[in-house]
Amino acid sequence: MRGTSTERQSSNPPPSRRIGNYELVSELGAGTSGRVFLARRQGLERLFALKVLHKDLPPEQVERSQRGARLAAKLHHPNIVRPIDIGQAMGCIYVVMDHVPGNNLEDRLAKHGAMPWREAASLVAEVAGALAVAHEAGVVHRDLKPANVILHGRTGRAMVTDFGLARDTTAPSQLTQVGELIGSPVYMAPEQLEGGQVTSAADIYALGVMLYELVTGKLPYDASDLRSLRERVRSGRYKPVSEHVPQVNKELDQIVGELLSADPRARPSAQRVAEALRGFSGNASTTGGSKLLSYTASQLGVRPTVLLPVLGLWVLVLGGVTAWALWEHRGRRKLRDRQAELQRTSDEARAQSDSYRARLGSKERELEQTLEESSTLRLERDRLRGQVEAARQTEAELVRLRQQLREVNQQLADHRRKPPPQPKTGGDPAWEGLLKQTLARQIEWAIERLEGAAGPQAALTRATLLHNRGRYQETLAAIAAARAAQAQLGPELKALEARTLYKLGRMEEASRGFMDLAQAHPDTAPGLFGRALTSQDRAERVRLLQASAEADPKASYMRIALASGLVGADPKRALQLADEAIHNDPTAYQSYQLRSQIRLAEVQRTRDKSGLAPALRDARCAQLMNPGDPESWQLVAQILLAEGKAEEALAEATRGVAVADRLGVAGPRASARILQGQIALARRQTNLALQAWVQAVQLDPRAIQGIWPTLRRLPPRFQDPVIQALPPEMQREVRRQLGKR
């Protein structure tokens, strides 16, 4: 499992070839956080590397990139690529750095494989020297890898770049929390892989992995997934460098072992690593001795008779030479003293000049830092103002949207009280046409307008509308995006997630969601709702649903659940709750569906068919608002059958089967086929009824309970195919109840 970056396409960067004061010359590459361009600034001949951050980056990742740039700008070292400007233009945030011609070490490894070990040691020594300066300033790189080290095309120097994940250990707080895993896993230290505290020792470990890879062309630990990688790193067993490269200096094995130590405290500092690796490129010096030759008079061949005059002359000459030498020595000593005095004066002047230069450089850095911080603060202020303004606009849109939906719902109610005549040309009733053109379109328009809107309320509204349109997978995706953007989900979004999982037939996940809701938010309206749905006692469930509806008078789904439990016991109260749910949220198709079911139940109880027309209108409304819910199609089919329109009822039931199949949940698919079979049997289409019921029990054997009252009255030739479609143990029980062997 390599630690390379994953490239992606984006709608960035700017459509023009200019951003801010910089002209974009060509694109150098793209990564997970942005695209990098070769740029030129107006009035300057230098080339720069300009990185444009992706517009869809989460705010914390944008802040992390800006913070990394600010940290890198504080570091002064010939082997560090420093950012020189941060700006914002055309809605894009960009970072400008010196352009370093050349390829990174990852490209070098991919093209040429492992390099000579002395060359690798020299390059890693340069990287270690850069890290030493960073660590001294309290900066931990946290993403050191060959892809983030560039080989200068002219000088061959190793240049450390991309401090986007850097951490300032002197700062009081950080964006990254303990337990959060960022970076490239194969270069991570054991404590970093486990989600622990990351210190400068993590950079030293990454340095060891990089040195190992440069010398051998392989990684000390490699795996296909993160779990396997953790296990291998935890074991601490890897092949020494010398097993891959026998000619390597044995001391290099020892250095790599110290760098890859599982204990962060056992790893050396970056300065010690740099000094140790520089030693591999030094040259030994040699020294030689000399001889002093002496001669005697006999060796010179001088006779003793002439020795005394010669000696006298020699003494005179020697005395003159000695006097001259003494005079010369005094002159030279005075000259040396003068030179030493001048040297001291020069050294003092140089020291004073260096002091002034250092103080001036410090003042320049302070001024530069102040200007950078001021620019960053302005950018941050502008960004926050933009977010606040966007949040205000989103909230205003939500208010207007809710008002428009209520107005449309009121118009529909007015039309229902005084139904207009049917069109002469046939087709839908006028109220149904109005619904198609207004309410359903308003919902789709709202979903589109809220896409990408910031804030938890916008996320909740958009996810709710997606759920109400039956777009359940998109609902879960919207909730997942909200979870990634927020510290934690609110109880309303959690409740919506559990309800959506229930609709998709993922009962265990839905049950866990309701239980988590009840435990994490016990005193809120959604928490009471979660407790109600996990309760096994019917009376307790009704009591908790009543409490949740009272705690949040505007939550439609709580009223719908409460009304469903009161349909048989208190139909008048159930109908009142359905009306309240429609008033609170006219986009909730379940409210219309429930009101239709209540009216159909009253027709069946009182035999008064006057309630069938409003029941059908509500069922059609639910059907149009959420065409993907098979229950609405079945409800329309039941009402049409009660009106004596068996052929139309069968057509609706058949379409309901297709809708249930698209939903892909076994329970609704079986229920749709049970109703289809019952209507087909009423129309004496026995083959179709038999086929539908066999499919129903094959999808869900529990469907036999819905067929059972009718099945008992049918002849054996009709019963046997349905019974044979059941599992063997259920076949025996059904045959026993029917009195068959």
Please tell me the distance from the alpha carbon of residue 166 to that of residue 182, in angstroms, as a whole number.
11
Q: Does residue 649 surpass a pLDDT of 90? A: no
DSSP states of 457-476 as a string? HHHHHHHHHHHHTT-HHHHH
Nearest 5°: the CA angle 162, 166, 171 is 150
**What residues form DSSP beta bridges with 27?**
37
Residue 496 has a CB neighbour count (10 Å cut-off) of 24
Domain regions of the chain by residue span: 105-281, 653-741
Q: Does residue 167 surpass a pLDDT of 80? A: yes
Q: How confident is the model at residue 215 (pLDDT cuts 50, 70, 90)?
A: very high
Q: Does residue 307 surpass a pLDDT of 80? A: no
Please tell me the distance from the alpha carbon of residue 16 to that of residue 505, in angstroms, as a whole number.
49
Q: Which of 85, 143, 552, 629 is catalytic?
A: 143
Residue 690 φ then ψ, to 5°: -60, -45
Residue 126 φ then ψ, to 5°: -65, -40
Third-level CATH fold of 105-281: Transferase(Phosphotransferase); domain 1 (1.10.510)
More confident residue, 313 or 114: 114
| Mean pLDDT for all residues in the chain | 78
In this prediction, residue 302 carries a pLDDT of 43
In this prediction, residue 405 carries a pLDDT of 62
pLDDT digits (tens, 9 = 90+) for 457-506: 777 888 888 888 778 888 888 888 887 776 577 888 888 888 888 888 88
Q: How confident is the model at residue 321 (pLDDT cuts 50, 70, 90)?
A: low
pLDDT digits (tens, 9 = 90+) for 383-398: 666 655 665 666 566 6
In this prediction, residue 409 carries a pLDDT of 61
- Sorted by sequence, the CB contacts under 8 Å of residue 102 that are 6+ apart come out as 150, 151, 152, 153, 154, 159
Q: What is the DSSP letter of 726?
A: S
pLDDT digits (tens, 9 = 90+) for 340-379: 777 777 667 677 766 666 777 677 677 767 776 666 677 7
Instruction: Confirm whether 337 is a catalytic residue.
Output: no
β-strand pairing of 47-53 with 83-89: unpaired
Residue 692 has a CB neighbour count (10 Å cut-off) of 25
More confident residue, 560 or 191: 191
DSSP states of 383-412 as a string? HHHHHHHHHHHHHHHHHHHHHHHHHHHHHH
pLDDT digits (tens, 9 = 90+) for 235-259: 888 999 999 999 998 899 999 999 9
- Residue 196: burial class (beta carbons within 10 Å; 0-12, 13-18, 19+): middle
Residue 1 has a CB neighbour count (10 Å cut-off) of 15
**What residues form DSSP beta bridges with 24?**
39
**What residues form DSSP beta bridges with 92?**
89
- Mean pLDDT, range 666-673, rounded to an integer: 83
Q: How confident is the model at residue 723 (pLDDT cuts 50, 70, 90)?
A: confident
Token reading at 443: 């919902």
Q: Is the pTM of this model over 0.95?
A: no
User: In this structure, are residues 170 and 138 in contact, taking their beta carbons and an 8 Å threshold?
Assistant: yes
Please tell me the distance from the alpha carbon of residue 9 to that of residue 196, in angstroms, as a whole number.
33
DSSP states of 151-202 as a string? E-TTT--EEE---TT-EETTSS--SSPTT---S-GGG--HHHHTT----HHH
Please tell me the distance from the alpha carbon of residue 626 to that of residue 471, in angstroms, as a whole number.
9
More confident residue, 454 or 43: 43
SS (H, E, C) 315-345: HHHHHHHHHHHHHHHHHHHHHHHHHHHHHHH
Instruction: Tell me the torsion sign for CA atoms 151, 152, 155, 158.
Output: negative
- Mean pLDDT, range 565-582, rounded to an integer: 82
Please tell me the distance from the alpha carbon of residue 391 to that of residue 544, in angstroms, as a whole number.
35
